[in-house]
Chains A and B, each alone.
Chain A
Amino acid sequence: MGLSLLASRALRLSRIPSRATQIFLRPIVSTRDLNTPEPATSAAPPPPPPPHRHPVGGARVHFPTPDDAIEVFVDGFAVKIPKGFTVLQACEVAGVDIPRFCYHDRLSIAGNCRMCLVEVEKSPKPVASCAMPALPGMKIKTDTPIAKKAREGVMEFLLMNHPLDCPICDQGGECDLQDQSMAFGSDRGRFTEMKRSVVDKNLGPLVKTVMTRCIQCTRCVRFASEIAGVQDLGMLGRGSGEEIGTYVEKLMTSELSGNVIDICPVGALTSKPFAFKARNWELKGTETIDVTDAVGSNIRIDSRGPEVMRVLPRLNEDINEEWISDKTRFFYDGLKRQRLNDPMIRGPDGRFKTVSWRDALAIVAEVVNQVKPEEIVGVAGKLSDAESMIVLKDFLNKMGSNNIWCEGNGPNPNADLRSGYIMNTSISGLEQADAFLLVGTQPRVEAAMVNARIRKTVRATHAKVGYIGPPTDFNYDHQNLGTSPQTLVEIAEGRHPFSATLANAKNPVIILGAGIFERMDKDAIFTVVNAIAKKHNVVRPDWNGLNTLLINAAQAAALDLGLVPESDRSIESAKFIYLMGADDVSLEKLPNDAFVVYQGHHGDRSVYRANVILPASAFTEKEGTYANTEGCAQTTLPAVPIVGDARDDWKIIRALSEVAGIQLPYDSLGGIRSRIRTVAPNLLEIDERVPATFSNSLRPESSQKIKPEPFGVTVENFYMTDAITRASKIMAQCSALLKK
C-alpha cells in the first residue's frame, strides 16, 4: 500500500510546479517523500508493536555461551543475539533481509559496497550494517526514509558505471543488482557522461568475464584467497580505474574456480560453457547429487527438455556447504557425447550391429548359461548406484558365482568393518580437528570439497597438516613427512618429529587415501595406522579421527553391500564378464575367448573389448542411492529422460535374469530397497549419516610386511576420472590448459 500511495502522491505533485522550476530544482531523489528525510526519532506517534517475524530463511541462532546474549531492537522488535553478531546478522535474526552486495556469510567482511546501510538510533549517519558489530540495546531501523534514501543513492552510484545490457546478460533473471535496483533503486538516473569500460580478463575455459559489469564488491577476490586458496585474483588501480583481474596475464588455476560465478552478484563472472545457451527462467531444476567423486556434493541440475543445461550447487552444511568443484559444475557436456543408445552385438567381422533388446538379452542369457559358475565375473563401475549393484550381485549369486566387486576397491577389500572404509569423523567434523595426517592421499584432486574443509580448518585454527606421499599441490600449509609407508612406521614408533604434534593434538585426524586399497601391503599399512591411532588417542568414545577418503561414488555402497570377490585372480580365468559401467578395470589378463557384456551409458574404454553392449541410463536420468565417503546415503533423481533405447541399470539385470531362467524376486525399486534393508540398512537412511558401529581397532593385526615402495598418485587428472568426464569437451580443455 505504502508504495502505491507514494507513487500516486508523487504523480499528483509533479504536475504542480512550472516547467522552468522543474528544470532548476531537479530533486536529488525521485521519490518525493525522501527529499526531506528526517531522522526517524522525530516521528511523533509511536508505531504499533510490529508483528513477530521469523529469521530469514528459517535460520536458527546458536548461542555458544548463553550469558553472552545481547538484546537489540530491529524496527522496534526486540531480538536476542549472541555477542559478536553484526547489525546485518541481527536484522536477519529479526526477519529483515538487508540488501547487500559485498557481504557473504562465508567470506570475510569487506564493507565496500555500502548497499547495506541502515539507520541506527543516535548515530549521525547511516551505518554499513555488515561491518558494524551489534551492541546491546542498539535500536536499528531498516525501514526509515534515511535508510531508503541511502539505498537509492548507493544504487544510483552503482548503476552509473554499470552497462544496461541485461537483455544479453547471462545473469539476467537471477542478478542481485537487477533485483535490488527493482526493489530499492530510483526509477531514473542523472548520469549523462560516458560510462567507463573495462577490458575483459581471460580466466580460462570455465569463467567468462565481462568486467564492465563488475561493481567492485571484491567477493571473487576474497573467495579466491580465502576459500580456494589461490592468490590469482586481485584488485588493481584506484578510484574509477579500479579493476578486478589476475595481476599478470594468467588463468585462474583452482579446482573451485567455478564458484565465483555463483558468488558474483552481477553478470561480471558467468559460466563460459553456459554463455548464451539458455535463460535461467526456462530451466527446470532437479535437486540431486553429484557422482563424479565420493563426496556426493548436493547439486541442482537445470535442464531444458532432454538436455542438461547447467549444474549448480545446493546448500548442504554437512557435505559441500555451498560450493562445488569445477568437475562437478562443468562435466555435464559429457552427457551428450559418446552415448550408447541401442543394444548392440559384435558381429563376426568385429563391427557392432544394432539389435533389439529381445535379441541382445537372449544372446547374453544363452552364453551365461553355458559357462561354468566360477567362470562368471561381474564388475560394478565407479558410477553405479546401490540398487543396481545389489541386483547384479543377486544375479551372479543365483548363477552360482561370487566373483563380483566394484572398481577401485582393490583386491580382497575389507567390507566387514564399516569404520574401515568410511570417513568416521564426517566431513563437517573435520572442522574440529587440530592435526591432520594425510597418508597416500591428495585430497585436492581426490575430493576437492573435503580439501576445502581441511583448508577451512587450517585457516581457522592453524591445525598442523602432515602428508605422506608423492609431492603434490596443497593450498594450505603442510609438512611433507615422507613418501613411503616407512615414515608411518617411524611415526608409530615415535621416532618421527610429527608424532609429537599428534601427541599434543586434542582432536587428531588421520586420513588414508583409497589408493592404498590397491597396494599389496594394505593390511600391514592399516595395522601400523591402527597402532598410531591407539598411541595418540585418535579413536576415543567422543572422537573418531581415523578416516578413509574414498574416490568413487560407488565405493562405499559397494562395500556396504558386500561386493567382495571370492578370489582376486578371477579375471584371468573368466569366460563371461559382466561390466556394469566398469571402464577402469584392467582387461589385459582376460582370456581372448571370454565373452564381455558391457552395460553402461558411455562408449568408453571397455566398449572396445565388449561383445554385447546394453545401453543404460546415466545418473542424471535415473533414481539411485549412493553412499558418499562419510557413509551418508543420498539419492539422485531423474532430471532428463533417457537417451535412445536405454534402460535403467537394475531393470536390465532384472530382465536378463528372467531371460536366463533365474528370475530375481523383485521388479520395482521398492522391492530392491527391501532387499537392501536385509544387507545394509544404512543405505536406506537417506540424507542421514549413519556412523559406523564398531571401531576399526577391532580389525585383526596383519602379519604382512610393509613394502618400501612409495605411495602413488591415485587420481592422475582431476578433470577426467570417469566415463562421463572423459567424454566431456570442457573437461578436456581444462586438463589441457589447467593441469600442471
Chain B
Amino acid sequence: MAQVAQVLKQFRVQPNSTSLEEARKRTFEFFKLACRSIPSIMEIYTLEDVVHPSQLRASVLAEIRKNAHITNPKVIDLLLFKAMEELKNVVDHSKQRHHIIGQYVVGRQGLEDLAPTDPGTSDYLKKFYNSNYF
C-alpha cells in the first residue's frame, strides 16, 4: 500500500502520448495502479461490509469503459490525468466515506427502493406509510 501511495506521490505530468498505442498502455497502467490501491481504499474508508473489492474494480473498469470510444491520444491523456487526480484524492483520504459509497458503490445502479413493494396494497396504504398528511 505504501508503494501505491509512493507511486502516486511521485506522479508527474508526463509528456503527451505520441500514439494511441502509448495512451492505451498508460490506461492499463492506471487501471493496475487503481486495482492495487483498492485494498487500502477498502481499509481507509471501512468499506468491508458494504462492498466487495471486485465490485470496486468493476466500477473503476466501468468508468474507463465509458470512454472506450475515444481515439484522440490527447483527450485520453487528459482523462487519465483527471482519473489519476481522483485516485490520489481517494487514496489520500481527501474524500469521505459517503463520497465513495455514493459515487462508486451505490452510484452505479442508483439508490434502489429498499422498501418492499407490495403490489396488493391500496393507494391509501401507500400514502399512509409515507406520511400522516394526505
The answer to whether B122 and A647 touch across the interface, beta carbons within 8 angstroms, is: no
Query: Is B121 interfacial (CB 8 A cutoff)?
Result: yes
List A residues 541-596 near B (Cβ within 8 Å): none
Among residues of B, the one whose C-beta sits closest to the C-beta of A358 is: B129
Contact A357 B132 (CB under 8 A): no
**Distance, CA A21 to CA B132, complexed state (A):** 74
Question: Which positions 196-211 of chain A face chain B at CB distance < 8 Å?
Answer: none
Q: Any chain A CB within 8 A of the CB of B125?
A: yes
Please state if B132 and A646 are interface contacts (CB–CB under 8 Å). yes
Bound complex: CA of A658 vs CA of B115, how far in Å?
18
The verdict on A654 contacting chain B, using a C-beta distance below 8 Å, is yes
CB <8 Å contact, B124 and A357 = no
Are B128 and A663 in contact, with the CB atoms below 8 A?
Answer: no
Interface residues of A in 631-690 (CB under 8 A from B): 642, 646-648, 651, 654-655, 658-659, 663, 667
Q: Are A358 and B132 in contact (CB under 8 A)?
A: no
CB distance from B131 to the nearest CB of A (A): 9
Q: How far is the CA of A667 from the CA of B124 in the complex (A)?
A: 7
Asked if A257 CB lies within 8 Å of chain B CBs, one says no
Find out whether the CB atom of A647 lies under 8 angstroms from the CB atom of B125.
no
* A425 on the B face (CB < 8 A): no
Q: Which residues on A sit within 8 Å (CB–CB) of B121? A: 658
Asked whether A651 lies within 8 Å of B128 as measured between CB atoms, the reply is yes
| Size category, A interface | 10 to 19
The answer to whether B115 touches A358 (Cβ under 8 A) is yes
**Please, which residues of chain A bring their CB within 8 A of the CB of B122?**
658, 663, 667
Q: How far is the CA of A667 from the CA of B115 in the complex (A)?
A: 23
Cβ–Cβ contact A654 & B132, under 8 A: no
* Residues in chain B near residue A507, CB distance under 8 A: none
Q: Once the chains bind, are A648 and B129 in contact (CB under 8 Å)?
A: no
B: number of interface residues (CB 8 Å): 9
> Smallest CB-CB separation from A616: which chain B residue?
B132
Measured between beta carbons, the chain B residues less than 8 angstroms from A647 are 128, 132
User: Contacts of A663 on B, CB cut-off 8 Å?
Assistant: 122
Asked whether B132 lies within 8 Å of A617 as measured between CB atoms, the reply is: yes
Closest A residue, CB atoms, query B122: A658
Interface residue SS majority, chain B: loop
Complex interface: chain B residues within 8 A of A642 (CB): 132
Contacts of B116 in A (CB 8 A): 358
* Per-position binary interface string of chain B over residues 108-121, scored 1 when its CB falls under 8 Å from any chain A CB and 0 otherwise: 00000001100001
A445 to B116, CA, bound (A): 52
Within 8 A of A (CB), among B82-134: 115-116, 121-122, 124-125, 128-129, 132
Asked if A654 and B124 sit within 8 Å, CB to CB, the answer is yes
Across-interface contacts of A667 in B (CB, < 8 A) = 122, 124
Residues of B near A358 (CB, < 8 A) are 115-116, 129
How distant is the Cα of A655 from the Cα of B131 in the complex, in angstroms?
A: 12
Q: Is the Cβ of A659 less than 8 Å from the Cβ of B132?
A: no
Closest to A356 in B: B129
Residue of A with least CB distance to B115 = A358
Partner of B132, one of A356, A648, A658: A648
B125 neighbours in A (Cβ, 8 Å)? 655, 658-659
Contact B129 A658 (CB under 8 A): no
Contact at A655–B128, with CB atoms within 8 Å?
yes
The CA-CA distance from A663 to B129 in the complex, in Å, is 16
Alpha-carbon distance A646/B121, docked complex (angstroms): 20
CB neighbors of B among A330-386 (8 A): 356-358
- What residue in chain A is nearest B134 (Cβ atoms)? A651
Question: Which residues of A (5-30) have their CB < 8 Å from a CB of B?
Answer: none
Complexed CA–CA distance, A68 and B81 (Å): 103
CB distance from A445 to the nearest CB of B (A): 35
Within the complex, what minimum Cβ distance (angstroms) separates B113 from chain A? 13
Residue of B nearest to A667 (CB): B124
1/0 per residue, CB under 8 A from A, across B15-31: the answer is: 00000000000000000
Q: How many Å lie between the Cα of A647 and that of B131 in the bound state?
A: 8
Can you list 27 A-B contacts (CB < 8 A)?
A356-B129, A357-B128, A357-B129, A358-B115, A358-B116, A617-B132, A642-B132, A646-B132, A647-B128, A647-B132, A648-B132, A651-B128, A651-B132, A654-B124, A654-B128, A655-B124, A655-B125, A655-B128, A655-B129, A658-B121, A658-B122, A658-B124, A658-B125, A659-B125, A663-B122, A667-B122, A667-B124
B residues in contact (CB < 8 Å) with A: 115-116, 121-122, 124-125, 128-129, 132
Interface residues in chain A, defined as those with a beta carbon under 8 Å from any beta carbon in chain B? 356-358, 617, 642, 646-648, 651, 654-655, 658-659, 663, 667
Closest 10 CB pairs of A and B: A667-B124, A655-B128, A647-B132, A642-B132, A658-B125, A357-B129, A655-B125, A651-B128, A358-B129, A648-B132
* A-B contact sample (4 more), CB < 8 A, given A617-B132, A659-B125: A642-B132, A651-B132, A654-B124, A658-B121
